[in-house]
Amino acid sequence: MSPSDTPPGPVPFGQENAALQPTPTEWSLKRLWNRTSLPYKAGSSVMPGGSASQAAQETTKESRGASVLLPTSGDLSGRCDFLRSLGVWSIYASYFPARLHRSEPLLPTRKYIFGYHPHGIISHGAFAAFATEALGFAGLFPGITNTLLTLDSNFRIPFYREYALAMGIASVSRESCENLLSKGGIDGEGMGRAVTIVIGGARESLDALPHTLRLVLKRRKGFIKLAIHTGADLVPVLAFGENDLYEQVRSENHPVIHKLQMLVKHTLGFTIPLFHARGVFNYDVGLMPYRRPLNIVVGRPIHVVQQRDREKIDDDYINHLHSLYVQELERIWEEWKDKYARDRTSEIEIVA
């Protein structure tokens, strides 16, 4: 079933729903975007209420008497789509196995910040879903060119920098984020661009314990400010099973180890959890992740009203968006925990 050609109602956003009504040009683009179906790769799925569609491949087309710019490949400098689509990534994703699920379609006439949770030990789900085509991101979200973000220090490692850039990975620095979301894209101002940020970061990796979901999010509001400044909609992403891939030494039982880990984090910007899982031929010890299902659920977009002047960004608006973001994460958890987190030992917990 394909989306209707009847203009949709506005995306829920407090009392400001009208702000998301598409312009005639955007609506023409949406109608053309919906008319062609695209088969999905194994590993991708659509949640109830969503449907599959493909971005139009032409660069322009006459519609309603005006020339409408349509989504192109959205190529980024240094990015190699061939490398991102190699068969080895499908093998990698099928090891767990990993699947990417969509709550609803995203318009290619907007820009987005995907907030990935939880960090886990190594963020295998974030890499499989947002740095490769193994899970069919382009099929689920046609017309959107996404960039997975990582620490700036990773780009100082010889040869790794070139590999990361070829995979379409970029620095999570503010300058990098703003460039990605405000330049290029369909309109030259970031339309159709998206970035994926693992919000909890290194601090959250220390809480990556199997069958739990403890998210470091209460005080994390920098990505909200970035969204307001660039006009990017917020899209929460919850990865069921990310914390189940490794066993970790519980820091609360070893305070000295925990202090050393935090010292490393404050000094270098990252930390090193003490973890183990399985080996190649054995199942009791090793550094390979366990073969446990990864289900990455992309939530509903939260519309953001742009404010280019950072000095005029209102704290109340930041808190409002943060609250909506947390609510959407909790909605995803409540809706899918009985299917994808059956072995949980606790409920979702938002911490500072």
Comparing CA positions, the residue from 178, 200, 189 lying closest to residue 310 is 178
pLDDT at 91 over 90: yes
Average pLDDT over residues 254-265: 76
Cα separation, 115 vs 113, in Å, equals: 6
Return phi, psi of residue 264, to 5°.
Answer: -60, -40
Give the chain's end-to-end CA distance (angstroms, integer). 42
Is the domain covering 72-246+289-351 a CATH 2.30.30 domain? no
The string of pLDDT tens digits covering residues 210-233 is 999 999 999 999 999 999 999 999
Instruction: Quickly tell me which residue has 């879903």 as its tokens.
Output: 129
In this prediction, residue 47 has a pLDDT band, given cuts at 50, 70 and 90, of low
Per-residue burial over 204-228, b if 16 or more Cβ lie within 10 Å, else e, is bbbbbbbebbbbbbeebeebbbbbb
Asked if residues 142 and 38 have their Cβ atoms less than 8 Å apart, the reply is yes
In this predicted model, what pLDDT tens digit does every residue of 313-343 receive, in sequence order?
999 999 999 999 999 999 999 999 999 999 9
Highest-pLDDT range among 6-10, 26-30, 52-56, 96-100: 96-100
pLDDT of residue 6: 39
One-letter amino acid at 288 equals M
pLDDT at 40: 42
For residue 114, give Cα distances in angstroms to 205, 232, 263, 347: 18, 10, 29, 22
Q: What is the mean pLDDT of residues 31-56?
A: 45
- 126 contacts 248 by C-beta, under 8 angstroms: no
Determine the pLDDT at residue 43.
67
- The yes-or-no verdict on residue 21 having pLDDT over 50 is no
**Two tokens, residue 115:** 């907030």
Pick the more confident residue, 152 or 28: 152
| H-run or E-run covering 124 | helix 124-130
Average pLDDT along the chain:
82
| Pairing relationship of beta strands 247-248 and 169-171 according to DSSP bridges | unpaired
Paired residues of 302 in beta bridges: 234
Q: Token pair of 99, please? A: 């699947």
Q: Are strands 98-102 and 66-69 parallel, antiparallel or unpaired?
A: unpaired
Q: Domain spans of the chain? A: 72-246+289-351
CB contact set of 263 (below 8 Å; sequence gap of 6+):
none
Rounded to an integer, what distance in angstroms lies between the CA atom of residue 108 and that of residue 30?
A: 8
Q: What is the pLDDT of residues 277-295, one digit of tens each?
A: 788 888 788 889 999 999 9
pLDDT bracket for residue 15 (50, 70, 90): very low
User: Distance between CA atoms of 232 and 228, rounded to whole angstroms?
Assistant: 7
Choose from 9-13, 173-177, 204-208 the range with maximum mean pLDDT.
173-177
Q: Which residue has the tokens 């309603």?
A: 64
- What mean pLDDT do residues 8-14 have? 39
In this prediction, residue 150 has a pLDDT band, given cuts at 50, 70 and 90, of very high
Split at pLDDT 50, 70, 90, the class of 52 is very low
- CA atoms within a 13 Å half-sphere pointing along the CA-CB vector of 258: 11
**For residue 7, is it left (φ>0), alpha (ψ between -120 and 50) or beta?**
beta
232, 199 Cβ separation under 8 angstroms:
no
CA distance 109 to 192: 6
Q: In angstroms, what is the C-alpha Rg of the chain?
A: 20
Phi, psi of 68 (to 5 degrees): -110, 125
Give the pTM.
0.78
* Cα–Cα dist 171/167, whole Å: 12
- Is 8's pLDDT higher than 50? no
